[in-house]
Chains A and B, each alone.
Chain A
Amino acid sequence: MSAATSGAPSLRARPAKRTDKPQKWGNPGIYFIAFLLISASVGPVVYIVLGGFRTNSQITVSPAGLPNPWVFSNYVGVLKSGTFWSEFSNSTIVGLVTTVGVVVLGVMVSYALARYEFKLKGAMYSLFAAGLMFPLVVAITPLFIIIKDLGLIDSLMGIIIPQIAFGLPTTVIILTPFLRAIPKDIEEAAAIDGTSRLGFFFRMAIPLAMPGVITVAILAFIGSWNNYILPLYVLNSQVHYTLPLGVQQFSSQYSQDTARVLAFTSLSMMPALIFFSIFQRRIVGGLTGAVKG
């Protein structure tokens, strides 16, 4: 990871001069504080990962110690179990379908809000903006009743559809400025060349707003991967469990087997962490760019 400044999706370019010339090292006190901050942030994660490489007796004798010797049976055991992979694939399916749904519906409505003039536009934008204030938790009880009436209890669709609905506000708020920022001249030039408005949407607007689309997609996927309360309410049978429910269930089922619980926990956070480390510039940069507007 270089010290590059961006990944910021804003169309406004930031000069990358900082990376060009070698920097001074600066005040050592700052590095010390940064070191403390990083240890505090990463420490518990490292504890969970390392704990999975220990035995229960190691953990009991010295709860904060390092693996000695390293034991791989916990991780192997979890990786060999059908439960983990079934929950893993449920989480993956739910995450991918949610992401596609959020992106498709979100891009469509954002495009209308960004580049068309119509009477209800203001009201529509406010509606989505207001949705930010009422996250899933507030609506979960009545939402559960609606999901039940739709016959979607204990099915993955019962999680996917509400997640798409609740993912829309953030998506609209992030994407609308992106689509709005595409210069009018480009659209006019395309129109003169005979491109229809919808043709412009597919061939110009979406490619140009790609950084925003990717940011939104990543947020939707991680949000879905980590969602707990909705599966908790909606899913009953273990074949449909997603990883968060699985972790909770596993940790109460094997509460005496701490090492195994740590191995299971650390394996189930790996996908989100790997995903994050691949796209970290997009996520951190995307938020940075978002705030800069």
Chain B
Amino acid sequence: MSETLRTAAVGRIRRGALQVGDAAHAASPTPRARKRGRGRQRLEIALLTSPAIIVFVGLVIFPVVLAAYYGFYKWQGYGPPTDWVGLGNYKIIFTDPAFQQALEHNGLIVVLSLVIQGPLAILLALLLNQKIRGRALIRVLIFVPYVISEVIVGTGFSLMLQVTGAVNDALHSIGLGFLATDWLADPNIALWTLMGIITWKYIGFAVILMLAGLQSIPDELSEAARIDGASYWQVQRHITLPLLGPTIRIWAFLSIIGALQLFDLVYIIWGQYISGTAGTSTMATYMALNGRLAGNYGYGSAVAVVMFLVSLVVALFYQRFVLRRDLRGAVTQGVN
């Protein structure tokens, strides 16, 4: 969502670029007054922006820089780091099979999220975009899982998915007992269980985004196509889907970034140690386990840097090649 917003903002800022300046000039006729006006305007800008910039740079940007520094040390978190190991931490990260597995899981989760949620969300949005009663209520109810915290989702599902839990019980009682299985511990199934929970939690958000995208497409286009004899599916395929493109691409971006940083659900359901054996560990759970819990803050920082770089590369790549048309480089080049 934010991405479209950005596009909109970019457009608006570009369009309006000269107006503020013009107004300032018109309002201050003499050069001296203009100068004083400028100084005052600068002061206002500084006052308005500095608190947010300080907090943001200090706690969002600075930690990443700091992580790059600590990542070169073997450091337990007490006093200044002294035990310089160069790229040693990174060597360990990339040769550790546990990290490779975590990275692999993250990759799988990214791909499966896109493949499962994308088409499903588009189909559901197409269905719900028709004129039916109670559409507002449906929109709200499918959004409920998105509002509930990951901790509660994780706690609830880990109770339901136990071998003797509600899901297996329900399967037995409707005659599908042969489907009952060990949803959480079986390494062949656990990742798919996780995907099911992720889909449950985030599909509502995707559907709402797609619905919003659909509603911004003018009806005239599909009406014209219908008059020309196109079938419902032809209209969806050749008119709706292409026009929904920007929304789909932006949803995909948010989904990818979310999948790369997945932590809460895995950590709650599979705990600190068994996510590895169940085949659901992610880079973030690896970082928590080997950094904070093991007391190796130097190593944890190095993992943070790797995660950061993976996200950055994916984001820049995606912006460069996929979002190019939608954003025109808003992030990489700035608004002006």
Contacts and interface: CB of A to CB of B under 8 A. Distances in A.
Q: Do A and B bind each other?
A: yes
Interface string A273-291: 1001100100110011111
Interface of A: 1-5, 18, 23-27, 30-31, 33-34, 37-38, 40-42, 44-45, 47-48, 51, 60, 62-65, 105-106, 108-109, 111-118, 121-135, 137-146, 148, 161-162, 164-166, 168-170, 172-174, 176-177, 180-181, 184, 187-188, 191, 197-198, 222, 225-229, 232-233, 244, 247-248, 251, 258, 261-262, 265, 268-269, 272-273, 276-277, 280, 283-284, 287-293
A292 B213 CA distance: 7
Interface in B1-17: 1-2, 4-9, 12-13, 16-17
A176 B127 CA distance: 33
Contacts of B257: 132-133, 135
A67 B133 CA distance: 32
Given A3-B136, A162-B59, A63 B336 contact: no
Interface stretch (B20-28, B94-102, B185-193): B20-28
The 4 A-B pairs at the shortest CB distance, nearest first, are namely A293-B8, A122-B334, A226-B149, A142-B63
A247 B284 contact: no
Contacts of B53: 109, 124, 127
A40 B315 CA distance: 32
Given A121-B335, A140-B288, A229-B288, 10 more contacts: A23-B132, A45-B145, A116-B48, A118-B42, A127-B61, A130-B331, A161-B55, A170-B2, A177-B12, A226-B150
A191 B152 CA distance: 51
B179 interface: no
Contacts of A273: 144, 147-148
Nearest to B331: A129
B160 A47 contact: yes
Contact of A174 (B2, B151, B312): B2
A174 B8 CA distance: 10
Given A109-B48, A131-B56, A291-B213, A226 B142 contact: no
B111 interface: no
Given A261-B155, A261-B159, A111 B48 contact: yes
B60 A112 contact: no
B66 interface: yes
Nearest to A139: B63
A2 B165 CA distance: 37
Nearest to B315: A133
Given A112-B48, A188-B23, A273-B148, A143 B59 contact: yes
A280 to B, nearest CB: 5
Contacts of B227: none
A142 B331 contact: no
Contact of B152 (A25, A137, A265): A265
